[in-house]
Structure 1
Amino acid sequence: MTMLSLLILVLCIIFSLLLVFMKRRRTNINAPYPPGPRGLPIIGNLHQLDNSILYLQFSKLSKIYGPLFSLQLGFRKAIVVSSAKIAKEIFKNNDHAFANRPILYGQHKLSYNGLDIVFSHYSDFWRDMRKTCVIHIFSNKRISSYSSIRKFEVKKMIKKISNHASSSVVTNLSELFSSLSSTIICRIAFGMRYEDEGVDSSKFHGMLHEFEAMLTAFFVSDYIPFTGWIDKLRGLHSRLDRIFKEFDEFYQEVIDEHLDPNRQQIDQVIVDVLLQLKKQNLFSIDLTFDHIKAVLMDILVAATDTTSATLVWAMTALIRNPKVMKKVQQEIRSSRVKKDFLDEEDIQNFSYLKAVIKETLRLYLPNTLLVPRETRENCTIGGYQIPAKTIVYVNAWAIHRDSNVWKDPEEFYPERFLESSINFLGQDFELIPFGAGRRICPGISMAVASLELILANLLYSFDWELPHGLVKEDIDFEMLPGIAQHKKNHLCLSAKILM
């Protein structure tokens, strides 16, 4: 290469770099980065955030910086979305660019390094896994096949409440719903149940609570490199390893039991379906036991606490709104159905009951912040430039209470859904308790089937009152931190059997 050729090459490279620089500069001018609170060096805004009330803090910040604002979380960029309009831009118009999940240490470990559906990166494997699970696990036919399990367990709950009512004993609905939802999902997923009381039940629920705590635990090393030693000093690594080992052994015991050729086959539950899919090689990759365990983890965590929390909030809202309680009971009891127990097909036409559930999920959705996403590439949202690898928080709690969208948003008013086609299936971005887009929760139908059956029979079989000496203003709406937002104080009500 001659000196002239080399000079021309260097000039071409410099000119190309200048073009790239100018293009980026024009892009930045035309589409600036979203505004946000100023942070400190290295830690950014981490010191300003409380993990237990992030949805409230994000809501307050959105009133200052707008429905799309930015945060600096250590070395990681993040944005927060607080309006249906911006959510639509993300979930509908740019869903592919926002389809990743951020890798967070606790979630990555407990999901077998992202081998599940909820926390795994967007990839061919994820698409294959989700599609197969939707067809073989979450199909309407499969969900209907578990109706006998739901019916049996709800009948058992009704009997227990009847015993309480006969003895004038107050019913702790928080504990009852927690036990019921975990029993239903354990029978559907694993083919096993835990009794309502006893050592095994207590141990299992203790494990589940610790598992959920570690899923949402704050690891400094997620945001500031080379600080894993801090997490170790705080004991997080040892707690994480311990609960991972306990659940790994639990999943393996379930798998071994269902692989036993001498096992008496009763009903085909989810673990059986997954083992059959593994045997038939229906995936584009070699499905391992770790993949199966990761999917079982998704189902256990996603279905148990969210269902029980929603039921508690529904009954809390109804006891605080006696007119709504009376109206939904009139709908259920005035139907042509005259029996001791309502089956799933009996409740399909109860429009006001469905409106009550929608309104509960609007005001008291169990996941106030949707599972965070991460951008796969640079994109423009709401007139702002969003870089790749940016963590995305969608504040569904704020969206569901947006006065620009909802009339009297703080009021529990199910009637708003009787004259509206808005639903929670991912097409209406004003109501997104299950998310939206390609990463919407695939188990919506399973969750709704349980919610409708349980709530309908509670309201059909009993009249509900506050314990003696309490008035409705004594019932609070404080939330506990966690992967699902439970009511802080247990909901205890008195049931009266209909004569």
Structure 2
Amino acid sequence: MPIMVWAWTILVLVMLAYLLREWTWKRMNKTKTLPPGPRGLPIFGNLHMFGELPHRDLHRLAQKYGPIMHLRLGFVPTIVVSSPQVAELFLKAHDLVFASRPPSEAAKHMSYEQKNLSFSPYGPYWRNIRKMCTLELLSNVKINSFRSMRKEELGLLVKFIEKAGCDCIVVDLSAKISSLSADMSCRMVFGKKYMDKDFDERGFKDVIQEGMHLGATPNLGDYIPYIGPLDLQGLRRRMKVISKIFDAFFEKIIDDHVQSKDENKIKDFVDVMLSFMGSEDSEYRVERSNIKAILLDMLVGSMDTTATAIEWTISEVIKHPRVMKKLQKELEDVVGLERMVEESDLDRLEYLDMVVKETMRLHPIAPLLLPHEAMEDITIQGFHIPKKSRLIVNIWAIGRDPSVWTDAEKFFPERFVGSSIDLRGRDFQLLPFGSGRRGCPGLQLGLTAVRLVVAQLVHCFDWELPNNMLPTELDMTEEFGITVPRAKHLLAIPRCRLHK
């Protein structure tokens, strides 16, 4: 009986809160025009319109309501942008207004109360940790210092694939790329490799993908805060499980570094972070939780996103043999068949650049980026955007905008021949790394790893699909999450190409 009383009490309170907010909203905004959008349900708003792949659902809605669209997700006004022209207004002309991040259950429970770089609200703390991460891990000098490590780890993968090719064994490219990315990320951030079993019995990939899935799932607690403590979807409980796994791993890493007695050891990113701990020199105090939050960012940001981009690029190349042959011809001309690709070769591989751009156009790593939050009321294109509105930029839809891209659904890298369109956030037709203040700070590191691994795998090997599968039959289904990887692992049979 008490449970039923509580349930009815909460329902009545939610209804009263909804009616009060609706009355207040209409009174405050009766003379202001919101962007067009679909009508929502009482309390839930437009939440019911999200299916398994929200970026596709929002794309379909935008085709009806336009490139700047208003949704009400629970009690939260949400603006969805789906064209390069409008994206430029929000992320360039009015970048500062939308430079913050909204609060969320996922960031609270999995990102140490939003203390990491990705989800931290805009302000002095965020500016300081971004500066520190850029200087200590993401600058060109630091990226180049890890060049020999990348060569070593990629060499180990090539040797494994060479042996598989000699034995005509099918290679699980998704798993091998994920392991390579994990090894490179761990060595770069933590100073050494960690095996899957050191992290959790499920391994890095499965745990990170579950975290990405939980972070992207529309959470009633975010949009109807009054019912958040009830955890009706069970998301909070699962988030806490994931958080405990990461926390135990980071505690072990920090303890290892604190207890290390090796005075000749080269300082890694964790050592640098620890040197700031307890310091009063900055505007904020760096504690253990801050360090763990930033380590989470650097690990997930460098590991999952890179592996996803490589996986999709190799998938598209295998699916389109013409593209593979053309890319291999460029690699033969620039590198030759007597050696592997070096990082110094990458700047001369123009067609490789086009292939990577075209893949990121069709398969952006995070199709909705991360949500922004309006820090003040603003009017854009005559539409009122209220303070605290969430901003979603659908770069998946922008990459398929037929007014920008000819044959937008077709994989055709040659569309970039003679084009100045770049993917570094200056051209709003192509925004895989976002743009403005909240653009991805690891852009150069990610691009270097993606281009190098793709070039090496295509240069060193020919690839065939198992069971006589035709390239056109390759399943390209997506898996839902903040990042959107392949739903099914990419399996292929290698055949060595190099003369060595």
Normalising by the residue count of structure 2, what TM-score does the alignment of the two structures yield? 0.90
Q: Partner of 1:105 in structure 2? A: 105
- Contact preservation (8 Å) 1:255, 1:271: yes
- Contact preservation (8 Å) 2:189, 2:270: yes
Equivalents in 2 of 1:366, 1:299: separation in Å? Answer: 16
> How big is each residue's C-alpha offset from its partner over 1:58-93, in whole Å with a ceiling of 9 and x where there is no partner?
001001100011111111110100000000000111
How far 1:337 moved relative to its partner?
A: 5.2
SS at match of 2:225: coil
Equivalents in 1 of 2:243, 2:198: separation in Å? Answer: 23
Equivalents in 2 of 1:418, 1:258: separation in Å? Answer: 49
Q: Partner of 1:473 in structure 2? A: 472
Q: Partner of 2:81 in structure 1? A: 81
SS at match of 2:77: strand
How far 1:262 moved relative to its partner?
A: 1.1
Q: Partner of 2:42 in structure 1? A: 41
Gaps of 5+ in 2: 1-25
- Output the amino acid matched with 2:102: P
Give the 5 Å matches for 1:260-409: 260-263=259-262, 265-278=264-277, 283-335=282-334, 339-409=338-408
1:482 aligns with 2:478: no
Using the TM superposition, name which of 356-365 and 194-203 deviates more: 194-203
Equivalents in 1 of 2:350, 2:319: separation in Å? Answer: 21
Using the TM superposition, name which of 392-401 and 459-468 deviates more: 459-468
SS at match of 1:284: coil
How far 1:341 moved relative to its partner?
A: 2.2
Give the 5 Å matches for 1:200-211: 202-211=202-211
Equivalents in 2 of 1:406, 1:460: separation in Å? Answer: 29
How far 1:339 moved relative to its partner?
A: 4.4
Q: Partner of 2:170 in structure 1? A: 170
Q: Partner of 1:95 in structure 2? A: 95
Give the 5 Å matches for 1:133-148: 133-148=133-148
- Output the amino acid matched with 1:55: H
In structure 2, relative to structure 1, the CA distance for the partners of 1:177 and 1:104 (3 Å cut) is same
Count of residue correspondences: 473
- Output the amino acid matched with 2:255: D
Q: Partner of 2:192 in structure 1? A: 192
Q: Partner of 1:238 in structure 2? A: 237
SS at match of 1:324: helix
In structure 2, relative to structure 1, the CA distance for the partners of 1:409 and 1:210 (3 Å cut) is closer
Equivalents in 2 of 1:267, 1:53: separation in Å? Answer: 44
In structure 2, relative to structure 1, the CA distance for the partners of 1:379 and 1:198 (3 Å cut) is closer
- Contact preservation (8 Å) 1:45, 1:72: yes
How far 1:282 moved relative to its partner?
A: 5.6
- Contact preservation (8 Å) 1:28, 1:385: no
- Output the amino acid matched with 2:387: A
> How big is each residue's C-alpha offset from its partner over 1:433-465, in whole Å with a ceiling of 9 and x where there is no partner?
010010000000110111111111111111122
CA RMSD of aligned residues (A): 2.2
How far 1:478 moved relative to its partner?
A: 0.9
Equivalents in 2 of 1:162, 1:198: separation in Å? Answer: 28
- Contact preservation (8 Å) 1:212, 1:301: no
Equivalents in 1 of 2:49, 2:207: separation in Å? Answer: 31
How far 1:218 moved relative to its partner?
A: 3.5
Equivalents in 2 of 1:314, 1:225: separation in Å? Answer: 40
> How big is each residue's C-alpha offset from its partner over 1:150-179, in whole Å with a ceiling of 9 and x where there is no partner?
111111110111111000011111111111
- Contact preservation (8 Å) 2:334, 2:348: no
Gaps of 5+ in 1: 1-23
Equivalents in 2 of 1:265, 1:234: separation in Å? Answer: 50
SS at match of 2:70: strand
- Contact preservation (8 Å) 1:220, 1:230: no
- Contact preservation (8 Å) 1:102, 1:372: yes
In structure 2, relative to structure 1, the CA distance for the partners of 1:69 and 1:459 (3 Å cut) is same
Q: Partner of 1:220 in structure 2? A: 220
In structure 2, relative to structure 1, the CA distance for the partners of 1:279 and 1:341 (3 Å cut) is farther
Equivalents in 2 of 1:199, 1:290: separation in Å? Answer: 18
Q: Partner of 1:126 in structure 2? A: 126
SS at match of 1:98: coil
- Contact preservation (8 Å) 1:347, 1:452: yes
In structure 2, relative to structure 1, the CA distance for the partners of 1:204 and 1:357 (3 Å cut) is closer
In structure 2, relative to structure 1, the CA distance for the partners of 1:282 and 1:187 (3 Å cut) is farther
Normalising by the residue count of structure 1, what TM-score does the alignment of the two structures yield? 0.90
Equivalents in 1 of 2:202, 2:129: separation in Å? Answer: 33
SS at match of 2:138: coil
In structure 2, relative to structure 1, the CA distance for the partners of 1:467 and 1:338 (3 Å cut) is closer
In structure 2, relative to structure 1, the CA distance for the partners of 1:287 and 1:34 (3 Å cut) is same
> How big is each residue's C-alpha offset from its partner over 1:239-284, in whole Å with a ceiling of 9 and x where there is no partner?
2222212211211111111122414654433212322344776632
The structure whose Rg is larger is 1
In structure 2, relative to structure 1, the CA distance for the partners of 1:250 and 1:120 (3 Å cut) is same
> How big is each residue's C-alpha offset from its partner over 1:159-205, in whole Å with a ceiling of 9 and x where there is no partner?
11111100001111111111111111111111232347899674444
- Output the amino acid matched with 1:242: V
How far 1:38 moved relative to its partner?
A: 0.6
- Output the amino acid matched with 1:404: S
Equivalents in 2 of 1:341, 1:109: separation in Å? Answer: 44
> How big is each residue's C-alpha offset from its partner over 1:19-41, in whole Å with a ceiling of 9 and x where there is no partner?
xxxxx999975x61011111111
- Contact preservation (8 Å) 1:216, 1:483: yes
Q: Partner of 2:180 in structure 1? A: 180
Equivalents in 2 of 1:327, 1:494: separation in Å? Answer: 20
In structure 2, relative to structure 1, the CA distance for the partners of 1:63 and 1:212 (3 Å cut) is closer
SS at match of 2:53: helix
SS at match of 1:227: helix
- Contact preservation (8 Å) 1:97, 1:377: yes
Q: Partner of 1:247 in structure 2? A: 246
1:53 aligns with 2:56: no
Equivalents in 2 of 1:265, 1:202: separation in Å? Answer: 34
> How big is each residue's C-alpha offset from its partner over 1:299-354, in whole Å with a ceiling of 9 and x where there is no partner?
11222221111111111111121111111111111125564322211222111111
In structure 2, relative to structure 1, the CA distance for the partners of 1:67 and 1:417 (3 Å cut) is same
Q: Partner of 2:7 in structure 1? A: none
Q: Partner of 1:153 in structure 2? A: 153
In structure 2, relative to structure 1, the CA distance for the partners of 1:261 and 1:479 (3 Å cut) is closer
- Contact preservation (8 Å) 1:318, 1:325: yes
- Contact preservation (8 Å) 2:277, 2:287: yes
In structure 2, relative to structure 1, the CA distance for the partners of 1:264 and 1:480 (3 Å cut) is farther
- Output the amino acid matched with 1:139: S
- Contact preservation (8 Å) 1:194, 1:201: no
Equivalents in 2 of 1:32, 1:363: separation in Å? Answer: 33
- Contact preservation (8 Å) 2:278, 2:285: no
SS at match of 1:425: coil
- Contact preservation (8 Å) 2:177, 2:310: yes
Equivalents in 2 of 1:460, 1:275: separation in Å? Answer: 41
